[in-house]
Structure 1
Amino acid sequence: MAMTWQVLLQRLDEQRQQLEKFDQVETRILATLDFHAFFATLLAQIEGVFGIPLVWCVLRQDSTPQQLLAELPPPEGSAWAQRLVLADSCLLDQLLPPAAAVVLADRGLERYRPLLPAGVPLPGSLALAPIRLDGVLVGLLALADNDPARFAPDLDPQLLDRLALKISLCLSNVTAHERLRQQARRDPLTGLLNRRALDMALEQEFQRASRYHTVLTLVFVDLNDFKQVNDRYGHSCGDALLQWVAQVLRDCSRQTDYVGRYAGDEFLLLLPQTSRSQAYGLMQRAEARLRQQPLRLAGTELAVSFSFGLADGPSPAIATAADLVRLADADQYRCKQAYHGRAPLPSADQGPSLCM
């Protein structure tokens, strides 16, 4: 009887220690209000507090957190980003049905290989805990160990299930904050980045380009004769035209590019690691799209053209982000003058850049 009581006390003490660890993790991740801090803190805490060799997260590609995360600038110097795996929705549903609980596995791990971070070999055992947002499966917390017994199927998954629930609640909180933050970064008419967000991104990317000696190209776009559209067809048609141009610029850009409405009928494209000639080609594609697919409203075709200027840096002439905007704007102004004067168009390596 004494031995049984001693074992019981030992188990209660172990449970107490586990609950303290859960509380520590929960307290840390509850203090985060953005995705980058959330994932960095979550992975570091679980790895350190529970002594698990490999911890990573899997996100469903079409989930709200993944879509919001894709809108953010890539984290700089963050190891956690290498431990965030995007999974196809069909694959995720096959491996872990939407209503499934925690998965513990020490055999047949080959089927889970697509969920492993790049370059990570198959472990001895792994655990997959579902992360849900408003009841919908949006991802997984994944834990792995070379020891096959660490996450054997006969273990009790109750604590891990509880941890996944806490993570889901915290992720819901962070997602709500990120949604509000990103709404504040967006132009309400076009859905593009607003000027404040563009200025912040420009400073960040210019510093990154300076630090790593990469090229950063800025495109300053201004629509031609936009006032005439408003005067002739009304502001509702003008708004629709701005939305169409915004969509075309977004479609022609990469996911890593920044596209925003700077003011009125002016747009900026911030293109990291992109040469001047590559930016020129992007704008040629946008011009072709607008020319081939004019906006149609109430049976009327609204043709639109634009002038734009390019500036790339950092360089001796472009020492700050403000220099980049100033020179791109000046280049665009020269282009606009050429448009009104019907002057010959320069090449991609000359200024002004192009008048379309």
Structure 2
Amino acid sequence: MSGAAIQVRGLCKRYGQRAVIDRLDLEFAAGAFTVVLGASGCGKSTLLRVIAGLEEAEHGTVSIGGADVTRMAPQDRGCAMVFQNYALYPHMSVRDNIGYALKLAGLERAERERRIGEAAQLLGLRDLLERKPAQLSGGQRQRVAIGRAIARRQRVLLFDEPLSNLDAKLRHDMRVELRRLHDEIGATTIFVTHDQVEAMTLADRVVLLNQGRVEQADTPMALYHQPRTAYVAGFIGTPPMNMLDAWHEGDHAVIEHGGRLRMRQHAGQAMPVVLGIRPEAIVLDVPGGIAATLEAVEDLGSHRVVYARIGGQRVLAIDSSRRPYRPGEMLCLGFPPAAIRRFDPATGERLPGDGAETAA
């Protein structure tokens, strides 16, 4: 199965006076696994439904495989969709659930059985084909829903938060299965989720939406290490990037109610700035570092999350040592130059000239 490229141009979708999708332009490469990520209400599921033909946009076009499908019926677009709630027929067996759409399409029984068997083999469902959905676990039911989609052999697979009803271990297992499945069948896959872990582990490319607009579309590592905006920096990462209000003065940045950092990039005139740094990049106990007061420590086994304050601003750091901590003790935090990201506090856009060092 070969995937089809998808182009979305000037897409607008409103509910009443609220623009859920606002002049959206996107391309989904043929055969790629793209994750559309965002908070609840950002328009990600609406985008998926517009591509599938389940919703009609007020403006804009959708093209699949070079053909304009904007006015086409859902069944004519070459898409298969997997929903959050599985949408299985409770009175049908696993075999019949997977093959029902094939039967409606008029495929011969032998061909239906062959496709059902192939889907069941891919998803580990061969021993469950005669069971009803009520006899299956949540993970098994989700596999059946995926099997029903891939048995149709469409060029585009659309997933609308398919793992959100599963527990943590099943979500992990299904992430591994979905990535393997995609690599085997080669369909163009669009996967909608609010879970950044799913986005980081599954995607070739992540599209991060914010109120119906694209904040950044790039590889998972680019979003993590080179966020284009403060919104991206704060959304991606667990814990998220620290964002510190500061003031640029010449070649220094003064953290509000805190210390001074010597910046690699000369700021020119004095200006406010937001400094971003990932928790794992902060170095603890650096002589001459930025003074911070320890608030609390979360021990997660493999590492600890250290909560501290620089003046009135909270900072999180990752600590893999086993040294003891006392609430209220003073820490000296080091900010490696390459780890600093600068953002405009007015627009949220990232500023050129990253990098800082602790001032002498």
- TM-score tier, shorter chain, comes to under 0.3
State which structure, 1 or 2, has the greater radius of gyration over its C-alpha atoms.
1
Higher strand share: 2
| TM-score, scaled to structure 2 | 0.25
Specify which structure has the higher proportion of helix.
1
The higher-RCO structure (CA 8 Å, 6+ apart) is: 2
* TM-score in terms of structure 1 length: 0.25
